[in-house]
Amino acid sequence: DAGVIQSPRHEVTEMGQEVTLRCKPISGHNSLFWYRQTMMRGLELLIYFNNNVPIDDSGMPEDRFSAKMPNASFSTLKIQPSEPRDSAVYFCASAGGGSMTGELFFGEGSRLTVL
Amino acid sequence: DQQVKQNSPSLSVQEGRISILNCDYTNSMFDYFLWYKKYPAEGPTFLISISSIKDKNEDGRFTVFLNKSAKHLSLHIVPSQPGDSAVYFCAASPNNNDMRFGAGTRLTVKP
C-alpha cells in the first residue's frame, strides 16, 4: 500500500514567489492534516480537513497561506507570496475514521527554502 | 500557544540503559496521547499511544505512562539501543482529529 505522498520533496524559491505543496493521502482515509516543522516550535498544526472540509485553520500563519482539498485524494498548501521565514519542512498526514488511537500517517515532507 | 510541551530538546543515554522522555500538556480535554519517532529526512512514524482511561501502556521495550492529575506523560525505552536514536514527538488529541505535537526531544543512544 502506498503511504502519504508529498511533492515536491525539496523546493528552493525566491522571496515573493508562489509555492504550491501537494499531498495525496492514503486511500480510504477521511482526515488530512498539514503540519510545519521548525526548530523553534517543532510540529505545528496548520490546518486539517475532515471528509474534504476544512475543520480548523487557526494554525495557518497568515493570509499568505491557503489550503484546499478538492477531493478525497488530493490536497494543496499554497504560499503566496513566500517569505524567508516560511522556510521549513511541511508535512502532510492522513488518518482513517476508524482509528481508535488517532494515529496519523505522515508523508516524507516537503523541505521549503525561501531565499 | 503550546498546548503540548517537551521541555528537554535533547537526551543522551548509554546503550542498554533506560531512556525517559517527558511531556506535559495544558488542555484537560485531551483524551488520546501518542508518541511518534522521527528519523532525519523521513516523516514521523507512530510508536505507541495511550488513552486517558489508562495510566500505562506497554509494547515491548516501550512503555508510556500517563498522569492525568499532573497533565504529564512519559515514554520509557528499556533497554535503549543505538537504533532508537531519533527525535521523539509527544502528541495529544481531544477527539482523534485535532492532534497537537510538542517540539520534540532528540534522543542519542551511545554504543
Boundaries of every domain in chain B: 4-110
pLDDT of residue B4: 94
Q: Is the pLDDT of residue B1 over 70?
A: no
pLDDT digits (tens, 9 = 90+) for B20-33: 999 999 999 999 99
pLDDT digits (tens, 9 = 90+) for B44-94: 999 999 999 999 999 999 999 999 999 999 999 999 999 999 999 999 988
Q: For residues B4-15, give the mean pLDDT.
A: 95
pLDDT of residue A62: 84
Q: First vs last Cα of chain A: how many Å apart?
A: 36
Q: What is the b/e burial string over A27-58, where b = at least 16 CB atoms within 10 angstroms of the residue's CB?
A: eebbbbbbbbbeeeebbbbbbbbeeeeeeeee
CA–chain centroid gap for A85, Å, is: 17
Give the number of C-alpha atoms closer than 13 A to the C-alpha of residue A32, restricted to the C-beta side. 30
pLDDT digits (tens, 9 = 90+) for A78-113: 999 999 999 999 999 999 865 556 789 999 999 999
Residues from chain A contacting residue B97 (CB–CB below 8 Å): 31, 48, 50, 55, 95, 102
DSSP A87: -
Chain A contacts in chain B segment 41-80 (CB below 8 A): 41-46, 49, 51
Residue of B45, B89, B99, B106 to mutate, testing the A interface (most A Cβ within 10 Å of its Cβ) = B99
Nearest to B43 among A55, A102, A107 (CB): A107
What is the residue whose three cell numbers read 499511544? B49
CATH no. of B4-110: 2.60.40.10
Residues from chain A contacting residue B6 (CB–CB below 8 Å): 42
Hey, are the CB atoms on A100 and B41 less than 8 Å from each other? no
Inter-residue contact A68 to A22 (CB < 8 Å) = no
pLDDT of residue A1: 61
Mean pLDDT of chain A: 92
Instruction: Of A17, A43, A40, give the one whose Cα is nearest residue A107.
Output: A43
